[in-house]
Chains A and B, each alone.
Chain A
């Protein structure tokens, strides 16, 4: 079962930063936090993942709180093509690589 909770939807103006929160209060010590996104009728696309430290790549930044009970995905300059459903996933500790998807956040980037 999914171990994360996310807001159902969010709006963001084009060119502005999009900050997507995720709550994972029951996360275990060696579980990673992954973010994927799914554009309509496509397979999910990997964005970023982390364990304890904040991470940044060419797509986004991941901020994980010190207690690891929540995280925020930041898209620094959202474009219309970033409109998608964003999933925050905690990888099950004893089921290596199994991903259980929650309901995700529908991000609407508006002109």
Chain B
């Protein structure tokens, strides 16, 4: 079984809809991250969390919110989706303290029409 899982894997939605992307991990890591990947732009950090009580904005947090429901679960929400949020979204985890090596989920491909 994969250590970091994401649901759904693919989602097509319409402008203005609320969308939630979920991430679960069995690695026992404290730190979790949400990134988005756009063609030609590489991965950019949206939000990150160091533990259940800790939430921090990344470089592109506008239009997104997150919830850390448990050590193993970190959800990303788009309150009102817009077309330029069409992208590939990745969840990642890392140890704390530790090697900072990050482990990624398989990604969610989101299309906003």
The judgment on whether A and B are partners is no
Residues on B close to A: CB < 8 A? none
Residues on A close to B: CB < 8 A? none
